[in-house]
């Protein structure tokens, strides 16, 4: 291990042990008591460095909540806990014939990191127990194939190569300034949003969280999908939020390639997964690349236009999926260096939203703080294209932020102070992954 990492490794494992709920890992002790989808995938990456059996259980627990049409919900609720809003009653997922019976879930998804994590767990298991690796792959591959099948079938009905998201929560970057224009278009009248009591601001500072007007629209979008029985065709007919999202499609492209590798491990044909990854990459370059800015931009399907927000870190993350050619990759790195993400010596890179961007906040959720998971994605993307010095800066930042402030949800980009929830599981898990990089090859 590097950076005298033995103590940090021990602390990170303590965080994960503290949040272990017997079958899954809570993202944090109080604010997020249930199982979250992409959190569990990142958490499994951390467990893969030292406890593959728990990584396996983490993913198995999540996929127990998968719907019969392949949808993998962003929350699988623990029936013994009620201290979260919106809880299972708000989602009304029982209105869908595809929901998983007595297992209560949400009705939206999150970025599909799961095949990426599963491939990593499989490769670790191969070193420990080849029979166990085979059993894991045989269990997880069909569930992953159904999950990706749902996305390509239901979220890309016209076969464009790009899947859409229908709620800001599906982006993973919930209250990013990317969504401001769309949310402002949603005009709510009295009676359109039910009375509710937010619980999040009782656990963390209110200044760190989305404002009430955003939450009103989040719940409105939940009701919109539930009122249509979670039928995707009915939802997209008049959905006010329907977006080709850069980050979501980047991760799907990378995950399809890892799913192809898992298909080979169980003797299945990987061709369809490889073709899907190729189609997504081509479509992102054809439809989401903005030549003038040298960035990838989200596209608002409901309005029929690009979302002209140029300061979201997600615009650079196609590097992770190997999507741009070297020339475009160079332009992305130029933007990284010159747009308030990577200002040398001035704070901590890379904020989720550039510090000079309109709508920036250094403390408010996805409007500017540094998140470990997006730094992790960008680090691997930079390494893929040979930008080793930039990648090393991000690796060192991940370590130094935790050393300075602990295992927080996110961090102030100027001071490094931790914000949001503390004892945050994916911060611990991805730190473990980063600290293991000197011990083993990473193939993301």
Catalytic residues: 174, 409
Rounded to the nearest angstrom, the gap between the alpha carbon of residue 333 and the centroid of all alpha carbons in its chain is 22
Cβ-contact 300, 307 below 8 angstroms: yes
Strand (E) or helix (H) holding 336: helix 326-338
Residues 6+ apart with CB under 8 A from 238: none
CA distances (Å), origin 10, targets 23, 52, 120, 359, 429: 21, 17, 21, 38, 12
Cβ-contact 88, 95 below 8 angstroms: no
Nearest Cα to Cα of residue 342 among 306, 323, 321, 316: 316
Rounded to the nearest angstrom, the gap between the alpha carbon of residue 147 and the centroid of all alpha carbons in its chain is 15
> Tokens representing 296?
């990838």
The alpha carbons of the chain give a radius of gyration, in whole angstroms, of 20
Question: Rounded CA gap, 128 and 72, in Å?
Answer: 29
Q: Helix axis angle, 114-128 relative to 37-47, nearest 10°? A: 20
Cβ-contact 354, 340 below 8 angstroms: yes
CA distances (Å), origin 321, targets 132, 296, 380: 29, 13, 9
> Tokens representing 271?
């061709």
Question: Rounded CA gap, 281 and 296, in Å?
Answer: 12
| Residue with token string 């899947």 | 163
Cβ-contact 321, 281 below 8 angstroms: yes
């Amino acid at each position: 291990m590097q950076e005298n990492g033995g103590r940090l490794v021990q602390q990170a494992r303590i965080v994960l042990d503290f949040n272990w709920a017997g079958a899954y890992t809570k993202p944090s002790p109080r604010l997020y008591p249930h199982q979250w989808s992409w959190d569990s995938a990142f958490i499994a990456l951390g467990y893969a460095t030292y406890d593959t059996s728990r990584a396996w259980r983490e993913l198995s627990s999540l996929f127990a909540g998968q719907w019969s049409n392949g949808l993998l919900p962003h929350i699988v609720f623990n029936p013994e806990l009620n201290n979260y809003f919106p809880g299972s009653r708000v989602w009304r997922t029982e209105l869908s014939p595809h929901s998983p019976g007595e297992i209560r879930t949400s009705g939206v998804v999150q970025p599909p990191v799961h095949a990426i994590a599963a491939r990593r767990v499989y490769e670790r298991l191969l070193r420990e127990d080849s029979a166990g690796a085979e059993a894991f792959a045989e269990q997880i591959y069909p569930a992953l194939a159904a999950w990706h099948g749902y996305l390509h079938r239901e979220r890309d009905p016209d076969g464009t190569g790009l899947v859409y998201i229908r709620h800001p929560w599906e982006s993973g970057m919930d209250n990013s300034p990317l969504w401001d224009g769309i949310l402002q278009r949603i005009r709510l009248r009295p009676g359109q949003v039910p009375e509710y009591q937010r619980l999040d601001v009782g656990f963390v500072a209110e200044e760190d969280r989305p404002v009430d007007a955003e939450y009103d629209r989040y719940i409105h979008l939940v009701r919109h999908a539930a009122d249509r029985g979670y039928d995707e065709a009915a939802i997209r007919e008049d959905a006010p939020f329907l977006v080709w999202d850069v980050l979501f499609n980047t991760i799907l492209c990378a995950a399809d390639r890892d799913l192809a590798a898992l298909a080979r491990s169980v003797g299945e044909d990987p061709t369809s997964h490889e073709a899907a990854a190729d189609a997504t990459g081509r479509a992102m370059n054809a439809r989401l690349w903005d030549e003038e800015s040298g960035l990838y931009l989200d596209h608002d399907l409901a309005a029929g236009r690009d979302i002209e927000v140029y300061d979201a870190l997600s615009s650079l993350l196609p590097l992770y999926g190997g999507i741009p050619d070297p020339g475009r990759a160079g332009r992305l790195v130029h933007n990284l260096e010159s747009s308030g993400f990577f200002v040398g010596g001035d704070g901590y890179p890379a904020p989720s939203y550039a510090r000079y961007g309109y709508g920036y906040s250094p403390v408010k959720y996805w409007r500017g703080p540094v998140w470990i998971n997006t730094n992790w994605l960008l680090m691997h993307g930079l390494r893929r294209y040979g930008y080793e010095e930039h990648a090393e800066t991000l690796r060192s930042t991940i370590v130094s932020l935790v050393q300075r402030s602990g295992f927080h949800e996110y961090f102030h980009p100027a001071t490094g102070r931790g914000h949001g929830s503390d004892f945050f599981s994916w911060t611990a898990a991805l730190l473990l992954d980063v600290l293991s990089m000197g011990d083993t090859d990473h193939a993301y």
